[in-house]
Structure 1
């Protein structure tokens, strides 16, 4: 549990992309479930939560995945690989989501009905490219949150976009509505991560 604002800043600074892992260290499924569950507090477009996860713990499967992911060592030596997927049909959960919102006291029936109506009007007719862009953006939000939570719990991570998405989709038999976005290796680092510089604020921000 974070107790002060400074704790968050410390975690943000200490989280680095670790590529060397202790292959003997194993994170339990219960721990992985807790990390992912806590990460789902991330925001998403219309609260449709288009993220899905395929968690790969089996050593033989990780070794096979390494061949799909440009032979990146961390795929095989980490404790688990969390594949973050996007659901292009996220809008099909709208009634379930907003019914739960009412049940938990977050909104009333009138607001629920309005949100469901608006979602069913906008999303099903949107081009697939737009739906994938929405899911990809939201996946980025939850991925960063997941990695910070993992660091707070003492684990190391690295996110990877360099893998053959077509081969991944075929190997893991993803349905048509799901598509892979990033892979997150998680485990216990066996070597320090490289440091990295950041552009100065004057190069990236403009105040008007």
Structure 2
């Protein structure tokens, strides 16, 4: 599928074929593609929790406003991120770079993040967001549909997946074969309203 077609045709799909299963190769391709997403300092904060256990998916659905796509979609990914990834062997993020470049960025990483918990969390969440979009567009390109979800009890899901204390929760994504189309796009703002040239008016 053409990239621009994938972008324009991607919708949040709620109804999936519960009998359909993605192959291990397809799941790996999707996650490997998500890993191409950009991250600040190449930290790669994201941790993709691929929920395969049907019982666990039922438990997540119970704290997820009973959204059917949580259990019915072929794949459920809980998006999380390691907030402290910036200080965990940071040299590994630049091990293949020229030594002067690696030294510069690795040595800058600590002072940039140290003592700034809000920045650390913001960067982790930004990384989650970019990886989510990559997953949804890649899924569309593979002939699947997806649904990003924030309507769930984040603390309860964190407990269910045993989220480490130094990680943060992001949204979840359901991926699979749709059984119903979504409704038409409900209302797109005009380009004039969303694009600002140079600066906002005084």
| TM-score, scaled to structure 1 | 0.90
After superposition, the CA RMSD in angstroms is 1.3
Is 2:94 aligned against 1:94?
no
What does the per-residue CA deviation read over 1:39-70, in whole Å, with 9 as the maximum and x for residues that have no partner? 21111111111111100122222111101111
Q: Within 5 A, what are the aligned runs for 1:97-136?
A: 97-99=93-95, 101-102=96-97, 108-127=98-117, 129-136=118-125
Structure 1 residue 124 displacement after superposition: 3.3
User: Partner residue of 1:206?
Assistant: 196
User: 3-state DSSP class of the match of 2:78?
Assistant: strand
Matching residue within 144, 164, 168 for 1:175: 164
Structure 2: runs of 5 or more not aligned:
none
Q: Which runs of 4+ in 1 moved over 3 A?
A: none
Distance 1:93 1:146, change over 3 A: farther
Between the aligned partners of 1:133 and 1:87, the Cα distance in structure 2 is 12
Between the aligned partners of 2:89 and 2:136, the Cα distance in structure 1 is 26
User: 3-state DSSP class of the match of 1:157?
Assistant: strand
Q: Within 5 A, what are the aligned runs for 1:30-109?
A: 30-91=25-86, 92-99=88-95, 101-102=96-97, 108-109=98-99
Distance 1:67 1:93, change over 3 A: farther
- Number of residue pairs the alignment of both structures matches: 196
Between the aligned partners of 1:69 and 1:124, the Cα distance in structure 2 is 35
Q: Check whether the contact 2:46–2:80 (CA below 8 A) recurs between aligned residues.
A: yes
| TM-score, scaled to structure 2 | 0.92
User: 3-state DSSP class of the match of 2:102?
Assistant: helix
Between the aligned partners of 2:89 and 2:194, the Cα distance in structure 1 is 37
Q: Check whether the contact 1:66–1:73 (CA below 8 A) recurs between aligned residues.
A: yes
**Mean CA deviation greater in 116-125 or 139-148:** 116-125
